[in-house]
């Protein structure tokens, strides 16, 4: 019998408002039309994303368009953890309206965690960038968040390799040139055994290490299968 995480389980999420999703769902098709005119985009094995129920979509992070491509082309509407620095002015209002979640990357963010749990416990898809920042996109290192959320909710972790969203020799904030080949490659879901409260840090790290190996292998296989290489470290030394 599958574990069914409740909003009243610890950490609780019953006091977090359900995130909006209809506006994002409405804009996904026009976004796909725009991107398909500008880039050469291929989606691989998106049937591996479960058609219903909570899902943690673990994505490597190369460039500024990773999020927009993901939201536009995923088989299901996606909520994502987005760095808090993006939530400024008009952009903040738009991201909130699109159902995205601000997260503090340099410290534990309890509100972001509980909001992410709300999304998963509502049976929706949550995208997370385990590397924590844009960079080489090779999953050389990951943070513990994806493991923790999987252990709390029992949601399967689906690897996704984004290739071509940043090309070699440009910064992490730059757009790929028009006509760039983009490959989004889904992997087999990984089921993590749910663990009741309290969850020990060492246990979370052990699960993170297992996921780390899976995610890194998936990106390497995706590069070989598509022939679309990773771009290496960004031009800018300051990762964003």
The token pair at 58 is 């673990």
> Cα separations (Å) of 225 from 50, 178, 186, 189, 221?
22, 23, 12, 18, 6
Report the SS3 class of residue 152. Answer: helix
What is the pLDDT at residue 46?
97
CA atoms of 38 and 51, how far apart (whole Å): 28
> Within its chain, how far is the Cα of 169 from the centroid?
24
pLDDT digits (tens, 9 = 90+) for 182-206: 999 999 999 999 998 889 999 999 9
Report the SS3 class of residue 60. Answer: coil
DSSP state of 5: -
pLDDT digits (tens, 9 = 90+) for 100-150: 999 998 888 999 999 999 999 999 999 999 999 899 999 999 999 999 999
Tell whether the model's pLDDT for residue 238 goes beyond 80: no
CA atoms of 48 and 95, how far apart (whole Å): 27
């Amino acid at each position: 019998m599958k574990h069914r995480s409740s909003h009243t389980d610890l950490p609780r999420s019953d006091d977090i408002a359900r995130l909006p999703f209809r506006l994002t769902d409405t804009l996904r098709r026009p976004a796909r039309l725009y991107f398909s005119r500008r880039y050469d985009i291929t989606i691989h094995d998106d049937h591996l994303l479960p058609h219903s129920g909570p899902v943690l979509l673990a994505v490597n992070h190369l460039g500024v368009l990773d999020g927009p491509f993901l939201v536009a082309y995923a088989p299901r509407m996606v909520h994502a953890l987005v760095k808090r620095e993006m939530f400024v002015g008009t952009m903040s209002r738009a991201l909130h309206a699109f159902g995205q979640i601000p997260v503090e990357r340099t410290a534990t963010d309890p509100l972001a965690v509980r909001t992410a749990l709300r999304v998963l416990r509502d049976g929706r898809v949550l995208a997370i960038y385990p590397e924590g920042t844009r960079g080489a996109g090779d999953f050389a290192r990951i943070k513990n968040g994806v493991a923790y959320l999987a252990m709390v909710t029992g949601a399967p972790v689906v690897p996704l390799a984004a290739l071509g969203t940043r090309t070699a020799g440009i910064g992490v904030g730059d757009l790929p040139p028009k006509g760039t080949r983009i490959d989004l490659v889904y992997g087999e879901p990984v089921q993590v055994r749910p663990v009741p409260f309290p969850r020990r840090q060492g246990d979370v790290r052990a699960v993170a290490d297992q996921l780390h190996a899976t995610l890194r292998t998936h990106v390497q296989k995706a590069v070989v299968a598509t022939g679309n290489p990773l771009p290496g470290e960004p031009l800018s030394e300051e990762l964003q």
